[in-house]
Structure 1
């Protein structure tokens, strides 16, 4: 894995199980958002439900994005006990999810 030269965005797309009540989904999202208060290396968190009119989501209903200062910080987050506990909950309540980490690149066009 290359060494980070700046911020890293950690993006998760999720499809929650169809039989999961909306209030449980809300509870899970609040737990995810609260990780930013529990894990120092996690600098910010945003997320929401797909609202696109183009129906190109491939079944993924929610997207979440966290910001870290480096790839090393992402690795620290990955093994943090609060994240591990949350990840177990997420695996149990989603049909599928995708995680992508990237270093933002800005283009001068």
Structure 2
């Protein structure tokens, strides 16, 4: 139990750190999901949830508030990928690099005479 005035990590964060699959995140946070969506976008969903979590300061939340915030972030991340695709969202470098315009090579003339 967290004492009043002490800054500590809510227990749900510790539990999520131990989770070894996307399905465990959904189970821990009691979020419904369709397996076929998670099978296609599991890493993307968790990465997006991580982006949402990173922006939040959990130190002032009670355990119950932290669970609700995590649940909300997972639901939002999941919804992001029910409306869009992993490639369209471009969370990972490989997807971002795939849409970069090709760089024009620098031409250097060899043997140019003055």
In the superposition, the TM-score normalised over structure 1's length comes to 0.34
> Larger relative contact order (C-alpha < 8 A, sep ≥ 6)?
1
In the superposition, the TM-score normalised over structure 2's length comes to 0.33
Whose helix proportion is higher, 1 or 2?
A: 2
Higher Rg: 2
